[in-house]
Amino acid sequence: MSSPALLTDRYELTMLQAALADGTAQRRCVFEVFTRRLPAGRRYGVVAGTGRVLEAIERFRFGPDELAWLAEEGVVDERTLAYLADYRFTGSIVGYAEGEIFFPQSPVLVVEGTFAEAVILETLVLSILNFDSAVASAASRMTSAAVDRPCLEMGSRRAHEEAAVAAARAAVVAGFSGTSNLEAGRRYGLSTIGTAAHAFTLLHDDEASAFASQVASLGASTTLLVDTYDVRRGVELALEAAGTELGAVRLDSGDLGGLAGEVRHQLDAAGATSTRIVVTSDLDEYAIAALAVAPVDVYGVGTSLVTGSGAPTCGMVYKLVAREDADGVLQPVAKASTAKISVGGRKAAARRLGQEGRAVAEVLVEGPDELVRGWTPDEGAEEAGVVDDLSDASGRNEAPSNGAGSSAGLRALHVPLVTNGVVDHRWVGAAGVEAAARRHRASRDELPRGARRLSADEAAVPTVVLELQG
């Protein structure tokens, strides 16, 4: 695969040039990835794309072609080109495990290194995490609405060709059972699905010959698309072609709930009680929920999934929260811009669990850098109170009486992803996707009751701060 080094914004490199010139490029810095708010009406988000970020960092190199183009376009000077020629990320990254639930202000990724090596990762990191997390967040709502019925990803024709691969991966992280995209299957070990479209039926002289051809090629366990013409007649012909061993029929138009009921009755009357019903046609989480009482066995989702079901980005940002001063001491820094305030200093993160093992609060751990860096849930901390809206740093109130701000019952959320430039390969490739899918199931099961409802509401749990005392 080609280098991702130029999948970035120009100002990352012009900042680098200026920092190299004034001597600040080698200052140790801490950058934090978070979102200030969830999309309207959403109660939680899902971290996805972490494995892809790590894969991209390993390939983030400025080769002869990239350097030649930068020089030809005059993007940066010779000194900066020389730095880029030897670029390797040697810093460290911790973050939420892929598949983990997140909330506003959750520090989902913390990147530490020199300013020079960390700043030029910003655009690529955000590009991956914002897209993949948006798809996974939508996918989680869909698989939650589907309960135990499988969901299949089939949105490749509605996305950029590489975005389609990423979307398929993110969907599986959030519980989808398979994808129609073959490259996603090859690259990440995903199960692939698909049989025939309406074009195959229309190619033949009649529906009967189309079904007979498909069964002869793929076997009776195939899925036959029965709504090209008349659904009832289509089911009859499908059973004539495959018998009662027919694997499934697919409905792609019309009143899916009503048709599913009619088709189920027709199949059962013919003795095809094990033949499944697959529904497609512009489904989203609301349509899936509406079909809960219909005899549907499998949902196929495309456009709504790969576009984040109305929220195509998570609004994640990559902000400098600490940097070395002239004396080599790490100092917290923060923006004070209207509506874009950030909170300075490195943060650790944990989830406060109640007696039933359900989340009570998202906990941000703040304080002196050396204490935050080495913090574990077993260490004591003073409550600093609930944060109602961390986009406004003044929104700090008294600690909640339910114990959400205490240090007891905490599950640490940060895991090591890169250590001194070395990527932890547990999080990449097919194994990384499997681990992320497991983490998502466990994390979503921790949500409080009602948090998975599709009705619009606030974040499922509050965010609180634990202040470490030096």
Domains and CATH numbers, the chain: 10-136+311-467 (3.20.140.10), 146-310 (3.20.20.70)
Quick one: three-class SS letters along 89-105? CCCEEEEECCCCEECCC
Which residues, at least 6 apart from 78, have a Cβ–Cβ distance to it below 8 Å? none
128-148 pLDDT, tens digit each: 999 999 999 999 999 999 999
- Write down the pLDDT at residue 408: 56
49-81 pLDDT, tens digit each: 999 999 999 999 999 999 999 999 999 999 999
Give which of 174, 152, 29 is closest to 102, Cα–Cα: 174
9-62 pLDDT, tens digit each: 999 999 999 999 999 999 999 999 999 999 999 999 999 999 999 999 999 999
318 contacts 107 by C-beta, under 8 angstroms: no
Q: Is 347 exposed, middle or buried (0-12, 13-18, 19+ CB in 10 A)?
A: buried
- Write down the pLDDT at residue 271: 98
Rounded to an integer, what distance in angstroms lies between the CA atom of residue 109 and that of residue 88?
19
**Residue 443 CA neighbour count, 13 Å, CB half:** 30
Sign of CA dihedral 393, 398, 404, 410: positive
Find the farthest-apart pair of alpha carbons in the chain and give their distance in angstroms, rounded: 82
Say which range, 102-116, 285-299, 309-323, 365-379, has the weakest mean pLDDT.
Answer: 365-379
Give which of 190, 143, 146 is closest to 164, Cα–Cα: 190
**DSSP assignments along 323-376, one per residue:** EE-TTS-EEE-----TT-----S--EEEEEE-TTS-EEEEEEEES-HHHHHT--
Instruction: Report whether pLDDT(390) > 50.
Output: no
- Write down the pLDDT at residue 394: 34
Which residues, at least 6 apart from 22, have a Cβ–Cβ distance to it below 8 Å? none
Mean pLDDT across 274-296: 97
216-248 pLDDT, tens digit each: 999 999 999 999 999 999 999 999 999 999 999
Q: Beta partners for 92?
A: 112
Q: Is 206 exposed, middle or buried (0-12, 13-18, 19+ CB in 10 A)?
A: exposed
Sign of CA dihedral 89, 94, 98, 102: negative
464 contacts 363 by C-beta, under 8 angstroms: yes
Give which of 373, 297, 384 is closest to 107, Cα–Cα: 373
Which single residue is written with the structure tokens 């990423």?
A: 166
DSSP state of 74: T
Mean pLDDT across 193-204: 98
Mean pLDDT across the chain: 93
pTM of the model: 0.93
The residue type found at 339 is A
Q: Beta partners for 95?
A: 109, 415
Q: Is 73 exposed, middle or buried (0-12, 13-18, 19+ CB in 10 A)?
A: exposed
Rounded to an integer, what distance in angstroms lies between the CA atom of residue 186 and that of residue 170?
15
pLDDT-derived band at 291, boundaries 50, 70, 90: very high
Mean pLDDT across 316-327: 95
